[in-house]
Amino acid sequence: MVSNAVLKFALKSAESEHLVAPVLTVCAETCKLLEKKNNNAISFTFKVTDTALKILASAPEKVGILNEFVNRFHFMSFSGSYADTLEARLPLLCPYGKSA
């Protein structure tokens, strides 16, 4: 899993500009994307991790990174409607593009 330190090292190691996009794509594929926020016994919400936000901020091509993040929005377990669960995660992307 990509941490902030690994991201910093990867960006520093990608000396030539043409290596930055592929390095960031791999980071986007492997970083911790979401973490629980306001967790209590009844409910919790998710937020995008600081590492994922740094990857997005560093990316010369943000659409490609956002596509990687969207591909990772699927999950192994949920309760209730799958569509409702996916829709609940949509606001996590709204600050970075057009809202639905």
Exposure b/e, 34-61, CB count within 10 A at least 16 = b: beeeeeeeeeeebebbebbebbbebbee
> Which ranges in 1-100 belong to alpha helices (H)?
4-13, 17-30, 50-58, 62-71, 82-89
Q: What is the pLDDT tens value at each position of the chain, 100 positions in all?
A: 677 777 777 777 766 677 788 888 888 999 998 887 766 655 567 788 999 999 999 888 899 998 898 888 766 666 778 788 777 777 776 665 554 4
Global pTM value: 0.69
